[in-house]
């Protein structure tokens, strides 16, 4: 794979993704590689824990607005744009469906799609300088990829509205206090801290671990599909709006957006 590396060490694996520059954004190619990486563990009955890492400077600054496939899709038909909108959701679902315990190691910023992927894993270790931020609504878009129920499960409905609707930035201390993250590590050491949790998981009986995780997830996500099964259709709708054009233009031009409801 071009952007993803997988390291296996007995019952523990580390999956790292790196686009080669600081923002580490999600292109369609990267999302497909991360989906394939997760699916590569589907028939693995020995792995107890998987650590997911981005770059040392940033986990990910979100979706790549300059991705060549994104540019091409602007002129595509509804069916093709709708199918493309499912790619991120499929990636997050593949990570949530994994049977081993999954732990995101987050350095620096984790934004938009980065948050969506991180909350699809079981635990999140953040560095002291980390920040989590969901800016989709500020771009005229909805938060998708099946992430809204996952965020709500972690922080509760009121705080989920502050994260998703008010686009509040959560730095490390606040993210842990709210439940969006689980542990704070010294800057540069989130991978090591995540591996300590992974080692703890690896000391447990692998079958019982997987059964317990399945029980917890099935209970927590019993109604998740009810609220999020059409979020990619909602994204296709909002993506084609004048407000989305204005939100993205304003972001690129570094100015406040002027939304009209169109």
Residue 244 burial (C-beta neighbours within 10 Å; 0-12, 13-18, 19+): buried
Residues ≥6 apart with Cβ < 8 Å to 242: 260, 262
d(CA 44, CA 11): 10
Residues of the chain with pLDDT > 70, as a percent, come to: 100
How distant is the alpha carbon of residue 122 from its chain centre? Answer: 11
Return the closest-CA partner of residue 235 out of 161, 117, 141.
141
Residues ≥6 apart with Cβ < 8 Å to 209: 48, 100, 101, 201
Q: pLDDT at position 73, please?
A: 79
Cβ–Cβ < 8 Å for 122, 149: no
Instruction: With cut-offs at 50, 70 and 90, classify the pLDDT of residue 76.
Output: confident
What confidence tens digit (pLDDT) does each residue in 128-144 have?
999 999 999 999 999 99
Instruction: With cut-offs at 50, 70 and 90, classify the pLDDT of residue 69.
Output: confident
Ordered by where they begin, the domains of the chain are 4-188 (3.90.226.10)
pTM: 0.94
- Average pLDDT score over residue span 167-186: 98
What confidence tens digit (pLDDT) does each residue in 100-132 have?
999 999 999 999 999 999 999 999 999 999 999
Question: Residue 67 corresponds to which tokens in the numbers above?
Answer: 């991705």
């Amino acid at each position: 794979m071009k952007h993803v590396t997988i390291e296996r060490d007995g019952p523990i694996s580390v999956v790292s993704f790196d686009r080669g520059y600081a923002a580490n954004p999600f292109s369609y190619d990267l999302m497909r590689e991360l989906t394939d990486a997760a699916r590569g563990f589907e028939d693995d009955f020995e792995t107890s824990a998987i650590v997911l890492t981005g770059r040392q400077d940033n986990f990910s600054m979100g979706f790549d607005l300059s991705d060549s496939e994104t540019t091409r899709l602007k002129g595509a038909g509804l069916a093709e744009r709708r199918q493309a909108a499912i790619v991120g959701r499929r990636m997050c679902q593949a990570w949530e469906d994994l049977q081993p315990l999954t732990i995101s190691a987050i350095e620096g910023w984790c934004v938009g799609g980065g948050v969506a992927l991180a909350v699809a894993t079981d635990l999140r270790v953040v560095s002291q300088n980390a920040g989590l931020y969901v800016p989709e609504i500020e771009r005229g878009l909805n938060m998708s990829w099946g992430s809204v129920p996952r965020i709500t499960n972690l922080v509760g409905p009121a705080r989920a509205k502050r994260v998703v609707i008010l686009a509040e930035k959560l730095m490390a201390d606040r993210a842990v206090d709210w439940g969006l993250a689980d542990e704070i590590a010294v800057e540069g050491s989130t991978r090591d801290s995540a591996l300590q949790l992974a080692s703890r998981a690896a000391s447990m009986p692998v079958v019982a671990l997987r059964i317990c995780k399945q029980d917890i997830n099935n209970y927590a996500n019993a109604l998740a599909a009810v609220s999020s099964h059409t979020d990619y259709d909602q994204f296709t709708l909002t993506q084609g709006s004048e407000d989305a054009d204005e939100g993205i233009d304003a972001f690129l031009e570094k100015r406040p957006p002027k939304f009209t409801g169109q």
